[in-house]
Amino acid sequence: MDKKNGTQKSKVMPLIPLRGLSIFPYMVIHFDVGRDKSINALEKAMINDSMIFLTSQKEAKVDMPTPEDFYHVGTICKIKQMLKLPGDTVRVLVEGINRAKITEIIKDEPYYEAKLEEPSYSTEVEKDKKVEAIMRMVIEKFEEYTSAGNKVSADVLITVSEIEEPGRLADVIASYIQLKSTNKQRLLEAFDPYERLETLHAILEEELEVIQIEKQIAQRVKKQINKVQKEYYLKEQLKAIQKELGEDEGIAQEVEEYKEKIEDIDMPDEVKEKALKEAERLLKVSPSSAETGVIRTYLDWIVDLPWDKETEDRVDIKKSRDILDQDHYGLKDVKERILEYLAIRELANSMKGPILCLVGPPGVGKTSIAKSIARALNREFTRMSLGGVRDEAEIRGHRRTYVGAIPGRIISSIKKAGSKNPVFLFDEIDKLSSGFRGDPASALLEVLDPEQNNTFTDHFLEAPFDLSKVLFITTANSLNTIPRPLLDRMEVIRISGYTEEEKLQIANKYLIPKQIGEHGLKDKKVNISENAVREVINSYTRESGVRNLERMIANICRKVAKRMVEENIDSAKINAGNLNKYLGIQKYRREKAKKENQIGIVTGLAWTAVGGETLSIEVTPMPGTGKLQLTGQLGDVMKESARAGISFIRSKTEEFEIDKDFYKEKDIHIHIPEGAIPKDGPSAGITMATAVISALSNVPVNSKVAMTGEITLRGRVLPVGGIKEKVLGANRAGIKKVLLPWDNKKDMEDIPSNVRKKLEFVFVENMEEVLSHALVKEDEKNEN
């Protein structure tokens, strides 16, 4: 800003100190004057040229200000109008002209007169960028100030934005805003327009900040009031709607009922508090909203769960034994181990022992043993199948934000059990899939872990449920696929398949009476002959357990019941001869060993998840280049095993009377035709080797012989697993002689004595022994 003209004009003028008022140049304003001294000054001014110097008192309350009591910078004003008001006051209308500074008080009676110095600037101020910028900034701030709710009309904004002169801009804006008198004075004393604008900018900014804070406080207060009001209002409205719909009392009553129930149940405080809160919420949400459904479901679950329901254990090993015997035939070892387990648990008086895992083929009574355990302990029983469970949510439930969410299957099963200490059976723990959503196995681990399961939290309940009193039992068909950490927590009890004799006993003593009872035939004379049962076992089922046997017996009973009603009779005899009338044609031909001794075909024994099976291995050599081809259901282990066999044979060609170059000139094709999927590949080692030797040497194999065993490169026979199941399978298949590895001799004690009596067992250490029993010697050929 250039001071074009530095000379200061000096003027002498009457002066009025104003109380609580500052006047800026360009401002037009009226005020009332009452003090004599001030009126005198006015009169003097009017005599002159209507010009008067107005300045502010530092303290409004001072009545007789001395020169120290007013500021020495003020505004020269032109009096535009004067109006005498009743009671010695005069109303004056003035217009601010220019700021000025008192250089000398010339007189103080009967009015103040002062010598003034007026800064004089050229009206045409040259605006540089700096000035332009500050002007814009000030206008912007002023806009902000007005939009912050100060009562300044839109016209003012327009006027202001059109002002070109920097000093005037500051003065006009200053006259519109409400400022503390000290701030007004600061602006008045800023003679330099740029400095004035800067001061104004700072003041505006300060002012805006204060406004902001004021607003926040106001809002907070208002919000609090609003919220209370709003809630009250909405509640009233809701009540009105509910009344209109005739629902209010219903809901209020429902909520009361829920609350009563919740209060009555002894559940953890945390859960109780939450449940009560939810019940309250039912009053608040609209009765027609989906939310009420969710809340009701939640509350129903909470009140239905057996938080405080617990059965008292029966601790009586003798009674437990009786119950296990009542429900199950045989299974002596299994029962003993279960009784031991129960006894130890009672003695230790804790649930922290390992978890029982019953392992065996389907239908051998795993589930029903678990049920018997519950019965023996006088506990409720509940089960949950883990087959195909791949989502953790199945175990833990979905959060309530899911549409239609309910708790997971653990909590559901507990609810079904109706007590917090049931016997809880996890069926098919070996079929647990490792999931793509969460890991069901680790969720299960938590459930089974006594250190953690007292606060099992279901996602739906969002509250911990104590599972520590539950007696968990698991079942599996095979141990191979059980996740290791789970397996480590379990005590495994194996239940193997049944022999025909055992099945017969089970059918006669348990299954038939049970099915007759269930079909309401107790009072009728229904007789199923022993032969008929044997026929069902052999020709209508092929299984290790008795599940299908039971189903067939149920079928017979159903047909019998129907016939009795239709034909009005009350007795029925079922024997092997008329069995097909009840069950249709036989499903399986009696699985008999091949009658003929054949070259290159050997019966092996395989262990599968559903029990022991025989499997027929066929070998065909053909001219070629020594390729080994395997077809059928074969795993890699089986291929390795076949190669080992071939290597062994190559080293013994002379002994076996085989062409020593067979591995160069012949391709060997090994095939396993029947569908049994062997789980333990290497156990077919000696079977394959025998078949290859038979095929290459053209010596037939005894069709009544079956074998299992792993082979080494040197032709040694190594032990294998699943002996009991395999032997039972061989027996079912009508095998007479079984070749087993020497080291499996110890497994013989597992085999029921009637089966042991029926079969001839040979324990072999090497391939030579295998061959001596399997291959048909010249002189034996015609015997079979």
Residues catalogued as catalytic: 683, 726
Q: Which long-range contacts (CB under 8 A, 24 or more apart) does 350-354 make?
A: 350/450, 351/450, 351/468, 351/469, 351/470, 351/471, 352/450, 353/491, 354/489, 354/490, 354/491
The answer to whether 458 touches 408, Cβ cutoff 8 Å, is yes
User: Beta-strand (E) ranges in 370-454?
Assistant: 381-385, 423-427
CB of 543 to ligand ADP, least distance (A): 10
By CB under 6 A, residue 408 contacts ligand ADP: no
Tokens matching residue 431: 């079929």
CB of 427 to ligand ADP, least distance (A): 7
CB of 545 to ligand ADP, least distance (A): 6
Q: Which residue, 505 or 712, is less far from ligand ADP as judged by CB?
A: 505
By CB under 6 A, residue 752 contacts ligand ADP: no
Q: Which residue, 474 or 641, is less far from ligand ADP as judged by CB?
A: 474
Tell me which residue has its CB nearest to ligand ADP: 365
CB of 364 to ligand ADP, least distance (A): 4
Binding ligand ADP (rule: CB under 6 A), the pick from 14, 362, 612, 678 is: 362
Q: Which residue, 331 or 357, is less far from ligand ADP as judged by CB?
A: 331
The answer to whether 365 touches 495, Cβ cutoff 8 Å, is yes
Tokens matching residue 249: 């009392």
Q: Which residue, 421 or 475, is less far from ligand ADP as judged by CB?
A: 475
Q: In the chain, how long is the greatest CA-to-CA distance? A: 163
Q: Which residue, 363 or 678, is less far from ligand ADP as judged by CB?
A: 363
Q: How many residues bind ligand ADP (CB under 6 A)?
A: 18
Binding ligand ADP (rule: CB under 6 A), the pick from 183, 185, 199, 367 is: 367
Strands 705-707 and 666-672: unpaired
The answer to whether 306 touches 417, Cβ cutoff 8 Å, is yes
Write the DSSP assignment of 718-767 as a string of letters. Answer: E--S-HHHHHHHHHHTT--EEEEEGGGGGGGGGS-HHHHHHSEEEEESBH
Q: Three-state secondary structure along 429-452?
A: HHHCCCCCECCHHHHHHHHHCCCC
Helix (H, G, I), strand (E, B) or coil at 541: coil
Q: What separation in angstroms does the CA of 578 have from each of 460, 509, 563, 574?
A: 56, 22, 14, 6
- Rounded CA-CA distance 31/116 in Å is 23
**Any idea how long the chain is?**
784
- Rounded CA-CA distance 482/573 in Å is 46
- Rounded CA-CA distance 355/444 in Å is 12
Please confirm whether the linkage preceding 306 is cis (ω < 30° from 0). Answer: no
CB of 696 to ligand ADP, least distance (A): 44
Token pair 């839109």 is at which residue?
A: 154
By CB under 6 A, residue 184 contacts ligand ADP: no
Q: Among the candidate windows 328-336, 573-581, 607-615, 671-679, which touches ligand ADP by CB under 6 A?
A: 328-336
Q: Among the candidate windows 242-250, 356-364, 630-638, 681-689, which touches ligand ADP by CB under 6 A?
A: 356-364
Cβ neighbours of residue 426 closer than 8 Å, sequence gap 6 or more: 383, 384, 386, 444, 472, 473, 474, 475
The answer to whether 86 touches 65, Cβ cutoff 8 Å, is no
Q: Which residue, 189 or 501, is less far from ligand ADP as judged by CB?
A: 501
Tokens matching residue 200: 């104004």
Q: Among the candidate windows 218-226, 360-368, 580-588, 619-627, which touches ligand ADP by CB under 6 A?
A: 360-368
Closest CA to 307 of 425, 456, 424, 466: 466
Binding ligand ADP (rule: CB under 6 A), the pick from 81, 368, 631, 651 is: 368
428-487 residues in contact with ligand ADP (CB under 6 A) are 475
281-300 residues in contact with ligand ADP (CB under 6 A) are none
By CB under 6 A, residue 330 contacts ligand ADP: yes
By CB under 6 A, residue 365 contacts ligand ADP: yes
Q: Which residue, 187 or 359, is less far from ligand ADP as judged by CB?
A: 359
Amino acid, single-letter form, for residue 420: K
Binding ligand ADP (rule: CB under 6 A), the pick from 366, 396, 724, 732 is: 366
Cβ neighbours of residue 82 closer than 8 Å, sequence gap 6 or more: 42, 46, 90, 91, 92, 93
Q: Among the candidate windows 182-190, 251-259, 326-334, 735-743, which touches ligand ADP by CB under 6 A?
A: 326-334
CB of 265 to ligand ADP, least distance (A): 34
Helix (H, G, I), strand (E, B) or coil at 91: strand
By CB under 6 A, residue 364 contacts ligand ADP: yes
Q: Which residue, 544 or 597, is less far from ligand ADP as judged by CB?
A: 544
CB of 609 to ligand ADP, least distance (A): 12
Q: Among the candidate windows 260-268, 316-324, 361-369, 445-453, which touches ligand ADP by CB under 6 A?
A: 361-369
User: From the CB of residue 530, how many other CB atoms can be counted at a distance below 10 Å?
Assistant: 12
Binding ligand ADP (rule: CB under 6 A), the pick from 329, 381, 424, 465 is: 329
User: From the CB of residue 64, how many other CB atoms can be counted at a distance below 10 Å?
Assistant: 8
**The dihedral of CA 196, 202, 205, 207: what is its sign?**
negative
Q: Which residue, 546 or 720, is less far from ligand ADP as judged by CB?
A: 546
Closest CA to 1 of 115, 131, 149: 131
Q: Which residue, 550 or 613, is less far from ligand ADP as judged by CB?
A: 550
CB of 365 to ligand ADP, least distance (A): 3
Token pair 């009671």 is at which residue?
A: 87
225-264 residues in contact with ligand ADP (CB under 6 A) are none
DSSP category for residue 510: I
Q: Which residue, 14 or 362, is less far from ligand ADP as judged by CB?
A: 362
CB of 506 to ligand ADP, least distance (A): 5
CB of 581 to ligand ADP, least distance (A): 25
Q: Which residue, 367 or 690, is less far from ligand ADP as judged by CB?
A: 367
CB of 407 to ligand ADP, least distance (A): 26
Q: Among the candidate windows 114-122, 323-331, 454-462, 681-689, which touches ligand ADP by CB under 6 A?
A: 323-331
Binding ligand ADP (rule: CB under 6 A), the pick from 37, 101, 141, 328 is: 328
Tokens matching residue 368: 């029903």
Closest CA to 619 of 679, 531, 701, 522: 701
CB of 569 to ligand ADP, least distance (A): 28
Strands 710-711 and 705-707: unpaired
Cβ neighbours of residue 152 closer than 8 Å, sequence gap 6 or more: 145, 146, 176, 177
Amino acid, single-letter form, for residue 357: C
Binding mask 493-512 for ligand ADP (x = CB under 6 A): -------------x---x--
CB of 388 to ligand ADP, least distance (A): 16
Binding mask 124-163 for ligand ADP (x = CB under 6 A): ----------------------------------------
Q: Which residue, 179 or 476, is less far from ligand ADP as judged by CB?
A: 476
- Rounded CA-CA distance 202/137 in Å is 10
536-575 residues in contact with ligand ADP (CB under 6 A) are 545-547, 550
Q: Which residues bind ligand ADP (CB under 6 A)?
A: 328-331, 362-368, 475, 506, 510, 545-547, 550
